[in-house]
Amino acid sequence: MSSSFYEIQELSSGEFVLKRGDEESSGEPLVTIRFSAESIAFLGAARFEVAKAMIEAGMEAAGDLAEQAPDDLAAEFLERPVLH
């Protein structure tokens, strides 16, 4: 089983995406976050930290769900390290 690293990228569109670090840049992101103009104005430069926290919370929730119903795919997901 190969391990994967994940990376958060900010696109030129202002969206934040979570991708596997070992995939080509053209691969489909696992998660996409888009903030409204109002949110961007409120958050300013902190929007990356907010996007990161949102992704971390989602991955933690997915891990909790996987623990409740383990299978081979869930086990593989839980063993992958996360890189920020």
In three state form, how does the secondary structure of the chain look? CCCCCEEEEECCCCCEEEEECCCCCCCCCCEEECCCHHHHHHHHHHHHHHHHHHHHHHHHHHHHHHHHCCCHHHHHHHHCCCCC
How far is 62 from 69, CA to CA, in rounded Å? Answer: 11
Domain edges within the chain = 6-79
**pLDDT (tens digit, 0 to 9) for every residue of the chain, 84 residues total?**
344 788 999 999 999 999 988 766 567 899 999 999 999 999 999 999 999 999 999 989 888 877 776 565 556 666 666 655
Structure tokens at 14: 């202002």
Q: What's the predicted TM-score (pTM) here?
A: 0.69
